[in-house]
């Protein structure tokens, strides 16, 4: 069978399968462009089952794009807490403000306008235009590239930009007239449920008969994907500082700077134990506690380190934090006026803001998942 017939077979059989097997997902129950947009941003690098409750809570709190655009950023980050990749939430809100200012609060259906929204790349733009407006635009993500690589036996490295362009062109050719939204979702569904990264379920695949990858026995070796550089390991020392006197029952936390990694999110105080790129090995307890004590003293907070608590980890796309967490107490003595002045200068240069908090404060403050878990465990929440 020639390429044209292979494409027609693929599109027809895939759509038929999808209409009978598609999952009932909350963002599929309507064609609201705003809801579809939110779901697609949340689904980036995140499992469907994880996203479901987040999507429901987010839409309940911000039912319209205007509600999102006008909300305090702290509220948006709190609703995103635990999903990770927090720049997604900030970009989503920034783009909502763009839509409010430039498009009267209505998600645009013009390709250039959608592409110009902050945080919207080719995949997300294609998903919005096809699913919400049924426009014949491809939406090519990792799932889709895996499916196409196997079915058409494409051996190009999917990490290359040229391969993505090739896949987008191919995906656009496969879209049946008038069925762009259903077809793109069908492709995603097949990659998520059947044509999985490992041990694909070929016997239940609706297009198995003409899948070149399966016929050639290449289903487990495709797609070709150059391994990404592993995240750089960093050894860090963190302090869980319990308060005394008027701060009894509280924990010392700090807010990160206005820009950069995890901008404006709250965390336990921590310090890098070695130079970036240096050996990331565990530091003995005494030097580690002295390091943390000295760091917080420079920030204007006197503490008494008590004991090692636990190891915690957090992985970003480019960095892996290995956190040695120590239980500490607020010291009884006050810091000197000069130290307070130095602390104020630290605020100016590093942008950290410190605060004593109790368990109730966590209802409104957004923490990265690693610190959220530590605080919940401490407060027994």
Q: DSSP 3-state assignment of 367?
A: coil
Q: Dihedral (C-alpha) 3, 9, 11, 15: value to the nearest 10 degrees?
A: -170
d(CA 285, CA 343): 26
298: left (phi over 0), alpha (psi -120 to 50) or beta: alpha
Is position 350 annotated as part of the catalytic site?
A: no
CA 134, 135, 141, 144 torsion: positive or negative?
A: positive
Nearest Cα neighbor of 184 from 50, 45, 26, 36 is: 36
CA distance 311 to 3: 55
* CB-count exposure of residue 311 (10 Å: 0-12, 13-18, 19+): exposed
Q: Is 49 exposed, middle or buried (0-12, 13-18, 19+ CB in 10 A)?
A: exposed
Angle at the Cα of 156 from the Cα atoms of 145 and 172, rounded to 5 degrees:
45
Of 40, 168, 189, 219, which one is the catalytic site residue?
Answer: 40
Are residues 209 and 40 in contact, defined by beta-carbon separation less than 8 angstroms?
no
Q: Which residues are catalytic?
A: 40
């Amino acid at each position: 069978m020639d390429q044209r017939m292979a494409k027609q077979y693929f599109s027809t059989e895939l759509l038929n399968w999808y209409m009978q097997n598609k999952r009932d997902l909350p963002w599929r129950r309507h064609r609201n462009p705003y809801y579809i947009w939110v779901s697609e941003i949340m689904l980036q690098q995140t499992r469907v089952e994880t996203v479901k409750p987040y999507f429901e809570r987010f839409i309940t709190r911000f039912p319209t794009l205007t509600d999102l655009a006008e909300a305090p950023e702290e509220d948006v980050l709190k609703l995103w807490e635990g999903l990770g990749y927090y720049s997604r939430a900030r970009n989503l809100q920034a783009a909502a403000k763009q839509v409010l200012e430039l498009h009267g609060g209505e998600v645009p259906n013009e390709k250039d306008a959608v592409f110009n929204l902050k945080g919207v790349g080719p995949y997300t733009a294609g998903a919005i235009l096809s699913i919400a407006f049924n426009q014949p635009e491809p939406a090519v993500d990792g799932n889709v590239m895996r499916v196409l690589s196997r079915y058409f036996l494409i051996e190009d490295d999917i990490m290359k930009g040229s391969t993505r362009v090739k896949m987008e062109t191919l995906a656009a050719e496969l879209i049946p007239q008038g069925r762009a939204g259903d077809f793109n979702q069908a492709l995603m569904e097949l990659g998520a449920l059947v044509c999985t990264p490992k041990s694909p379920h070929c016997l239940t695949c609706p297009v198995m008969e003409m899948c070149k990858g399966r016929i050639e026995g290449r289903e487990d070796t495709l797609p070709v994907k150059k391994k990404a550089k592993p995240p750089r390991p960093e050894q860090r020392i963190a302090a869980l500082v319990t308060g005394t006197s008027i701060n009894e029952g509280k924990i010392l936390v700090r807010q990160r700077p206005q820009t950069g990694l995890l901008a404006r999110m709250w965390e336990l105080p921590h310090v890098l134990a070695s130079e970036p790129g240096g050996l990331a090995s565990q530091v003995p307890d005494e030097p580690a506690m002295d390091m943390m004590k000295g760091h917080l003293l420079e920030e204007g907070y006197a503490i008494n380190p008590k004991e090692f608590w636990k190891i915690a980890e957090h992985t970003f796309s480019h960095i892996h934090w290995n956190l040695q967490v120590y239980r500490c107490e607020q010291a009884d003595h006050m810091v000197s006026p000069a130290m307070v002045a130095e602390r104020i200068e630290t605020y100016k240069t590093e942008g950290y803001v410190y605060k004593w908090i109790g368990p109730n404060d966590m209802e409104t403050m957004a923490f990265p998942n690693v610190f959220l878990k530590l605080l919940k465990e401490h407060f027994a929440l």
